[in-house]
Amino acid sequence: MNFKESHTLILNNVARFIDLTELEKQKYISLLAEVKVKKKAYLMQAGEIAQYEYFIAKGCLKVYTLDEDGAPHISMFAIEDYWTGDMASFMTKEPTRYFIKATEDSELLGISRSNYGLLFQEIPKFERFYRILYQRSLISYIRRSNHGISLDAVERYIAFKKKYPKVVNRITQKDLAAYIGITPEFMSKIISKVNRM
């Protein structure tokens, strides 16, 4: 994939909520950095300060923390047409507690902190874009955290498969367990149980 394609993708993503003139499109693209991450490479590691927010043009990454026992907790799988990063660290400049690791060769577009600030000055419409983007993210986070509490592990697995059917086939069972919030052993049990149903 050349960068023309990733630019088209991100412009289509933005066009969901705001209309940009040709000039604004060019300006926006000029504020983005092109980033490639090989499978198993890290885009971010705990302790660093997040310098970019990312749009994924191609590939798949897992976003996770490690608890005190060193066990990973995956908070999201980021694929094409999604946004990722650690907004808390990006905004506050505090060190992140997240790792972001590519599970496939991936191509991203990143916006730096200073360009993120510039963007609102130069194209105020982007306040609206991000207002709507964050509003929608908030809605889906709230839904998800409710599911996390009120459903048992089997139901959470079935809900994930239903909501992200394409993702299930691109990730390992172990990573899925770390996302669902159970051990790989129990995940294995669940899957063979669900398949038998």
181 binds DNA (CB under 7 A): yes
Q: Among its own copies, DNA, none, what binds residue 153 when CB lies within 5 to 8 Å by partner kind? A: DNA
- Cβ-based neighbours of 103, under 8 Å, separated by 6 or more: 39, 40, 60, 61, 62, 77, 170, 171, 175
Residue 19 or 68 with smaller CB distance to DNA? 68
Rg (CA), the chain: 18
Query: Maximum distance among all alpha carbons in the chain?
Result: 57
> 48-77 mask for DNA (x: CB under 7 A)?
---------------------x-x------
Window 162 to 191, contacts with its own copies (CB under 8 A): 181
150 binds DNA (CB under 7 A): no
19 binds its own copies (CB under 8 A): no
Candidate list 144, 161, 170, 174; residue touching its own copies; CB under 8 A: 144
Candidate list 1, 41, 142, 194; residue touching its own copies; CB under 8 A: 142
> 98-137 mask for DNA (x: CB under 7 A)?
----------------------------------------
Residues within the interface to DNA (CB under 7 A): 40, 69, 71, 152-154, 172-174, 181-189, 191-192
